[in-house]
Amino acid sequence: MDQSRTLQAIVQEAHARSRPLAIRGGGSKAFYGRRTPECDRLDLSGHQGITDYAPNELFITLRAGTPLQTLEAQLAEAGQMLPFEPPHFGPAATIGGTLACGFSGPRRPYAGSARDTVLGMRILNGQGEILRFGGQVMKNVAGYDVSRLMVGALGTLGVLLEVSLKVLPRPDNTVTLVQPMDPATAVQRMNHWAGQPLPLSATVYDGKHLYIRLSGTGSAVRAAQTRMSGERLPDAEAAAFWVSLREQRHVFFQGDTPLWRLAVAPATPPLPLVGRTLIEWGGGQRWLRGARDAMALRQLAAEHGGHATLFRGGDRRGEVFHLLTPPLLAIQQRLKTAFDPRAILNPGRFYVAF
């Protein structure tokens, strides 16, 4: 708690002086969001430690500066895992930074998102007040849970101090199948299978092949494997493949050209885009490389029930996230004013206006 009080004093002083702060944990996700002017850093990397873990109750509570590697090692000892399979993007990744960015990995469509995993939080608002939301078990999370607003807000609404997360048992068996396929058929297959009682835990189409990961009990995985067919990848090769996808070390992500992420309705057919795309999350996430017309991409994504984000690279001084409609923008601005009235927390990291 002493470290929390130290951080609280820094935020209180910054609020009093209207001095902006750049929140930083391990720095592994500094590439994400808008590029903002240099300002004083609020370092959370020392605010570490697991404060409560109840494997039988399927929850864990820890300080936001705790490295993801530490968290996942602790869960692995008990045969458990984070449901949303978060990417690290570097060895210094922290749980606070992961939640602030709202990042989820390949398992997201089948086990839930980072936001779905949050049970409760303790945060510092922009006035230096320590606030607590939610609880440690699902039955304590009633009504609208404010803590979930913090997931994906890039620290603009509050400094994450401590989080309570839902955890799950690791599956007994995992198998990865590969099938050569055209893009339209791949999207159709992923959506068809999503509606079936199959132990899916990840799907991705790389432009030539559809990769399907099955995870669960031995009998469930074997039955699904027989039903779906396809060549089975050797276990070590399959594990390395999904890590490379999660951490964006897969060959598709190599190079310095801008990387766009399009979130669309999963059943959306292959989009009329020039260049190679990578399709994840049962069709709901489409990756695209190269310099693009941002307005045209966002319009295309919106026409298919989604949004487009300049995920990496490109000009990060402008808007990198999908523009909000006026009603949503007004709500976001009211939230910013309520949590951070002097706009000192990561100003401009999310949108130009906040």
DSSP code per residue over 33-76: S------EEEE-TT---EEEEEGGGTEEEEETTSBHHHHHHHHH
CA–CA dist 148, 116 (Å, integer): 8
Helix (H) or strand (E) holding 309: strand 307-312
3-state secondary structure of 236: helix
- Give the DSSP letter of residue 155: T
**Domain boundaries of the chain, sorted by first residue:** 2-169+330-339, 172-312
Q: What is the dihedral of CA 129, 341, 143, 302, to 10 degrees?
A: -140
**Cα–Cα dist 26/43, whole Å:** 9
The CATH number that domain 2-169+330-339 falls under is: 3.30.465.10
Q: Do 307 and 265 contact (CB within 8 A), yes or no?
A: no
H helices then E strands: how many in the chain?
Answer: 10, 17
Residue 319 is classified by DSSP as: -
Considering only CA atoms, which of 50, 38, 95, 36 is closest in space to residue 68? 95
Closest CA to 242 of 294, 202, 206: 202
pLDDT in tens, the chain (354 residues): 578 999 999 999 999 999 999 999 999 999 999 998 889 999 999 999 999 999 999 999 999 999 999 999 999 999 999 999 999 999 999 999 999 999 999 999 999 999 999 999 999 999 999 999 987 655 454 445 788 899 999 999 999 999 999 999 999 999 999 999 999 999 999 999 999 999 999 999 999 999 999 999 999 999 999 999 899 999 999 999 999 999 999 999 999 999 999 999 999 999 999 888 999 999 999 999 999 999 999 999 999 999 999 999 999 999 999 999 999 999 999 999 999 999 999 999 999 988
- Predicted TM-score (pTM) of this structure: 0.95
